[in-house]
Amino acid sequence: MSDIFGEVLQRAFAERGFRTTMIEWDTLEITKPGMDPWTIHIDAFRQSASVNSRAELPRLAADYVERAVAAFTRDTAGIDEILAAGQLRLRLYHPDDLGDLRDSLVARPLAPGLLETVVIDYPESLSPLQRSALGNLSENEAFGAAILWSLDREPHYVQTDEVYGVPITYVGEQHRYVSAHLHLLLRHVNGHAPFGALVAVPIPEYVIIHVIGPDAHLFAAMEAMQDLARTHYEKGEKPLTKQVYWWCPGDYERIPVPDAFHSGMLPDLRPVGLEFDHEEETASPLTPYTDDLVALWMEAHP
């Protein structure tokens, strides 16, 4: 299928002497002799192009390339300028989304099926931070700044609803840095979650939370969370994972904020799930961690 928007943008880069490869629908890898490879996300261009006439596309693409090249020049100017501008953000990916690019980026596994990356935020785009651009900044320092600024400088809302009688909290907004709130789960559960919480991040714009406790049976909560994760994953523009995780507060949460963000440690997120057969009235654990969670729940609720 023809990709008019992608093709016109690639031609505009070629006219400036750059070679491009479309890694994903919204991700371009850009190269030029004597320069390190560079990746950008082109969501903003696609959105702008979609509401303009085809005759306007070459001009829009040329303008976008000019801004992107200027941004790349700023990137290579030094990490100190990026830090001074407070541009680092945290974005979550599925590991398969980055492929071979992963090793060249400031990225780390957060949980099975989830990868955290540090990106540079611009008004109309974002660019993953290359390891080669870190300079004297450590990866832990880069992640710390990205988490802090994603929390402090990006808007979000918190909303609690009931799904199947189960209390569910949503942390969300119309940007792709909301996953930074996984580093602030203790605050979102009001500092009290003796059994932890069920957590899902089906798309970058949402963190979905259920505090495990007396307000709902564990099996009902798991079914509600699995249904929500699956629905958002299937309908989302850039889905991450349908997996539900068991967040277990521990050493990470005992470190004061914001020191925890720079510590190199991570929230403890364990994949869990139940397969329900309503005709047989059974629920089968899908992971070893689910066995542990069910046993803990049953012991506390005989």
Handedness of CA 200, 183, 250, 302 (dihedral sign): negative
All residue ranges of the chain with pLDDT < 70 are 1, 34, 36, 71-77
Residues 268 and 74: their CA atoms lie apart, in Å, by: 36
In the numeric block, which tokens belong to residue 251? 């050493």
Residues 217 and 167: their CA atoms lie apart, in Å, by: 11
At CA 250, angle to CA 244 and CA 255, rounded to 5?
A: 120
pLDDT at 43: 80
pLDDT at 72: 67
Strands (DSSP E) contained in the chain are 19-24, 27-31, 38-41, 88-93, 107-111, 114-121, 126-128, 157-163, 166-172, 197-200, 206-211, 244-247, 269-272, 274-277, 282-285
Q: Are 272 and 294 in contact (CB under 8 A)?
A: no
pLDDT at 71: 67
Strands (DSSP E) contained in 216-281 are 244-247, 269-272, 274-277
pLDDT at 259: 97
pLDDT at 76: 53
pLDDT at 74: 56
pLDDT at 296: 95
